[in-house]
């Protein structure tokens, strides 16, 4: 499987990071370290006494981008670039965390002194620049943004081998359930060799679930047949239309399943102009010219994979991988194996893309180039406020999971579902935090704060995934969504992105179908 995307120049710093990561990889899978400096071990480490100073599993930093709302348009590009730098800093810090396990065992202050404190200083410098750029452009930057500079370590909890198949019915843990076994990753990613000599020696390969990656872990999976139904019955295909007494129609667009192999680790919405702004690989359907450097004009002039050539919208989501040891095309690339996203990329067998109505009212047309993100790629550390995507299995879609991966029975397939925000502020195609210009409907189906109802995008992806096997508290050949390395491949981080590039005539047709109660395609 190859990459099909626009060539771009790679900064020297990025090349240095990739080279360092490739050295850490050693040409194979990542090497992960035992989290526990225990007083004793037995059963190959599965029954361990937790040390007084539990080791840190990952790094939790406040999401600065979600706290910024007043950014003048002429400063948006600079601010987005600085926010991408903050993401890179976290990635670098996480990779250093994962390659210095022995030093951490020897010095309980190592993480604070050598990783978190320098990270805080670097973050503060970037936050200061963000404030300056906002103020220079005529905005009013929040003076309290500096309070977001500090990060904390999230400790690993003792693995529970008797509870590897947790059937809590998808109850959300808010990103704080760290019962994640005892492993982590070891590519440094900051272009610098560690001076403590632990770059290669720290990887002990103890309890790595047999997958050689920083998650997912046994506790991230649940047998779907043990989960109680938790959503109302759907309309038969897994999608529940908003329409009731308001606008009850629908419009379906057919855009394939990325047959053209369009992959990259960019995110045009969040990090325009930034190579590898997502730190994980995306599938793309629809628009065929989507990367970090695509302008609205590029999108409008591009080819599309959609059957209706008037739909040049871009629909994209993190790839799903089977961690079976396969070296994909991006095995040594940033966004791929160099950042812990390893294994065989699984394409969806079906990608159902539908727009539906609103319970309370007719819908209005989406503006061209409207951008919407649903779900949160950082929900494991951010908490579940913006977590929205869910997982299930065919035949069991009345059981939706946000914080677990489903283990489907024989003959059933994995389903990823994303229902997008469907209330719009009536003015903006984007906002500084990429969320404020759109919102979800209220419980009664209406839009609050003077927002207008727009067609709700619903995306349902179906995958044929070999069911993972859990034995002795470890999971063999798990599957996982791609993500930022410090998010440990948690299912709660699944998300989906959309840019509307339908021509005006087609959008009017979509609105007319929905408001008249017809099902169109």
What tens digit of pLDDT does each residue of 443-480 get? 999 999 999 999 999 999 999 999 999 998 889 989 99
Q: Give 123's pLDDT tier (boundaries 50, 70, 90).
A: very high
What was the pLDDT predicted at 155?
81
As a whole number, the mean pLDDT across the chain is: 81
Tell which residue, 371, 446, 461, has the closest CA to residue 413. 461
* Dihedral over alpha carbons 46, 47, 52, 58 (to 10 degrees): 20
Q: How confident is the model at residue 364 (pLDDT cuts 50, 70, 90)?
A: very high
The CA angle 438-441-445, to the nearest 5 degrees, is 150
What are the tens digits of pLDDT across the range 204-220? Answer: 333 344 445 688 999 99
Q: What pLDDT score was predicted for residue 157?
A: 53
pLDDT band at 101 (very low <50, low <70, confident <90, very high): confident
Q: How confident is the model at residue 294 (pLDDT cuts 50, 70, 90)?
A: very high
Above 90 in pLDDT, residue 80? yes
Range among 91-100, 154-163, 209-218 rated most confident: 91-100
Contact 476, 181 (CB under 8 A): no
Residue 144 has pLDDT above 60, yes or no: yes
pTM of the model: 0.80
pLDDT cut 70: percent of the chain above it? 76
Tokens of 45: 């480490």
Give residue-wise pLDDT tens across range 377-416. 999 999 999 999 999 999 999 999 999 999 999 999 999 9
| DSSP 8-state symbol, 456 | E
d(CA 366, CA 422): 10
- Structure token pair of residue 254: 């057919």
Q: Which of 116-125, 239-248, 290-299, 321-330 has the lowest mean pLDDT?
A: 239-248
Q: Which residues contact 158 (CB under 8 A, 6 or more apart)?
A: 48, 50, 179
For residue 322, which of 481, 210, 181, 443 has the smallest C-alpha distance? 481
pLDDT tens, position by position, 230-247: 987 544 333 444 445 689
Cα angle vertex 291, ends 289, 293, to 5°? 100
What integer pLDDT is reported at residue 57 of this predicted model? Answer: 86
The pair of structure tokens assigned to 79 is: 């601010």
Question: Which of 215, 247, 271 shows the shortest CA–CA distance to 403?
Answer: 215
Helix, strand, coil tally for the chain in percent (to 5): 25, 20, 55
Q: How far from 382 is each of 39, 62, 64, CA to CA, in Å? A: 33, 7, 11
Q: What distances in angstroms separate CA 107 from CA 41, 103, 183, 196, 231, one per listed residue?
A: 20, 6, 19, 12, 48
- pLDDT category of residue 70 using cuts at 50, 70 and 90: confident
367: three-class secondary structure by DSSP? coil
Dihedrals phi, psi of 111, to nearest 5 degrees: -60, -45
Residue with tokens 């220079």: 136
Residue range 430-454: mean pLDDT, rounded: 95
Report percent pLDDT > 90 for the chain: 70
Q: How many Å apart are CA 464 and CA 444, to the nearest integer?
A: 36
Burial class (CB in 10 A: 0-12, 13-18, 19+), 16: middle
467 CB neighbour count, 10 Å cutoff: 18
Query: H-helix or E-strand containing 297?
Result: helix 296-301
Q: What is the DSSP letter of 358?
A: -
Per-residue confidence at 7, pLDDT binned at 50, 70, 90? very low
Closest CA to 331 of 26, 98, 8: 26
DSSP reduced 3-state for 222: strand
pLDDT band, very low/low/confident/very high, at 166 (cuts 50, 70, 90)? very low
Give the DSSP H or E segment for 155: strand 152-155
Looking at residue 206, its pLDDT comes to 34
Inform me whether the pLDDT recorded for 39 exceeds 70: no
Collapsing DSSP to helix, strand or coil, 159 comes out as coil
Distance of CA 162 to the CA centre of its chain: 29
Q: Facing residues of 414 across strands?
A: 393, 463
């Amino acid at each position: 499987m190859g990459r099909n995307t626009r060539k771009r120049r790679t900064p020297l710093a990025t090349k240095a990071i990739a080279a360092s990561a490739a050295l850490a990889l050693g040409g194979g899978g990542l090497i992960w370290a035992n989290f526990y400096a225990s007083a004793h071990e037995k059963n190959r480490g599965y029954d361990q006494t937790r040390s007084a100073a539990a080791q840190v599993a990952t790094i939790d930093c406040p999401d600065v981008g979600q706290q910024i709302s007043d950014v003048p348009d002429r400063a948006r590009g600079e601010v987005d670039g600085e926010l991408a730098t903050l993401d890179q800093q976290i990635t670098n810090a996480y990779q250093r965390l994962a390659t210095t396990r022995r030093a951490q065992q020897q010095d309980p202050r190592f993480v604070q002194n050598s990783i978190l404190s320098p990270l805080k200083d670097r973050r503060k410098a970037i936050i200061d620049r963000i404030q300056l750029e906002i103020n220079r452009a005529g905005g009013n930057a929040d003076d309290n943004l500096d309070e977001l500079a500090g990060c904390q370590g999230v400790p690993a909890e003792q693995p529970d081998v008797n509870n590897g198949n947790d059937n809590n019915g998808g109850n959300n843990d808010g990103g704080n359930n760290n019962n994640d076994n005892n492993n982590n990753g070891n590519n440094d990613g900051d272009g610098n060799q560690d001076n403590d000599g632990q770059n290669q020696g720290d990887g002990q390969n103890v309890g790595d679930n047999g997958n050689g990656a920083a998650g997912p872990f046994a506790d991230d999976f649940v047998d779907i047949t043990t989960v109680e139904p938790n959503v109302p019955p759907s309309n038969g295909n897994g999608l529940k239309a908003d329409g009731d007494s308001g606008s009850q129609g629908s419009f379906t667009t057919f855009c394939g399943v990325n047959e053209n192999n369009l992959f990259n680790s960019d995110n045009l919405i969040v990090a325009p102009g930034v190579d590898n702004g997502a730190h994980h690989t995306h599938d793309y359907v629809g628009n065929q010219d989507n990367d970090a450097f695509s302008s609205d004009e590029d999108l409008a002039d591009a080819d599309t994979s959609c059957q209706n050539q008037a739909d040049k919208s871009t629909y994209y989501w993190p790839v799903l991988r089977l961690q079976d040891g396969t070296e994909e095309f991006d095995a040594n690339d940033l966004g791929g194996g160099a950042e812990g996203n390893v294994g065989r990329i699984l394409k969806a067998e079906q990608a159902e893309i539908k727009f539906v109505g609103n319970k309370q009212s007719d819908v209005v047309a989406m503006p061209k180039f409207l951008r919407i993100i649903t779900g949160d790629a950082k929900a494991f550390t951010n908490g579940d406020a913006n977590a929205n995507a869910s997982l299930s299995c065919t035949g069991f879609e009345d059981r939706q999971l946000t914080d677990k991966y489903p283990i489907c029975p024989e003959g059933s397939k994995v389903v990823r579902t994303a229902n997008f925000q469907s209330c719009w502020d009536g003015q903006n195609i984007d906002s500084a935090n990429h969320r404020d210009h759109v919102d979800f409907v209220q419980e009664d189906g209406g839009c609050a704060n003077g927002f207008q109802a727009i067609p709700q995008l619903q995306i349902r992806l179906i995958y044929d995934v070999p069911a993972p096997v859990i034995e002795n508290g470890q999971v063999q050949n798990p599957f996982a969504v791609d993500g930022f390395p410090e998010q440990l491949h948690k299912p709660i981080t699944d998300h989906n992105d959309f840019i509307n590039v339908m021509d005006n005539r087609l959008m009017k047709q979509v609105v007319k179908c929905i408001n008249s109660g017809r099902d169109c395609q």
